[in-house]
Amino acid sequence: MKSFATTKLQQTVDVLMRSGARRATAYLRPTAVISACRPCYRGRVANGRDTRATIVVKLGAPNFQERAFIKHCVKAGEPFPVKKIQLKYAATQG
């Protein structure tokens, strides 16, 4: 039987790969997050023809931006764990 954190980690990576986003973050509690990130090259995630995907996974304390989001969630009365996984897309270059 999988633990809750393992299931949330798998969901986070799946959402990241399907959405084409740069970063996906799941908030477990105010002091713990799961973050999956795809490294960018020149502001873009690797193109669709690539046969491999590199993903960096972070389990632990939230960073500065994640702490600000948690503060807004607590102020709004959002219960933890936050149900939706937050996505951040890569900046597009023109």
Of 26, 27, 22, 16, residue with least CA distance to 43 = 22
Cis peptide before 62 (omega within 30 of 0): no
Task: Name the helix (H) or strand (E) containing 23.
Answer: strand 23-29
Distance of CA 64 to the CA centre of its chain: 14
Q: What is the tally of structural domains in the chain? A: 1
**pLDDT score for 94:** 45
**pLDDT score for 73:** 92
The verdict on residue 26 lying in a domain is yes
* pLDDT tens sequence for the chain (94 residues): 578 888 889 999 999 988 888 999 999 999 999 999 988 777 677 666 777 888 999 999 999 999 999 999 999 998 988 989 999 987 764 4
**Model pTM?**
0.84
The verdict on residue 53 lying in a domain is yes
The verdict on residue 74 lying in a domain is yes
**pLDDT score for 57:** 94
The verdict on residue 82 lying in a domain is yes
The verdict on residue 93 lying in a domain is no
Where in the sequence is the domain holding 50, given as residue range(s)? 4-88
**If 0-12 CB within 10 Å is exposed, 13-18 middle and 19+ buried, where does residue 17 land?**
middle
The verdict on residue 94 lying in a domain is no
The verdict on residue 84 lying in a domain is yes
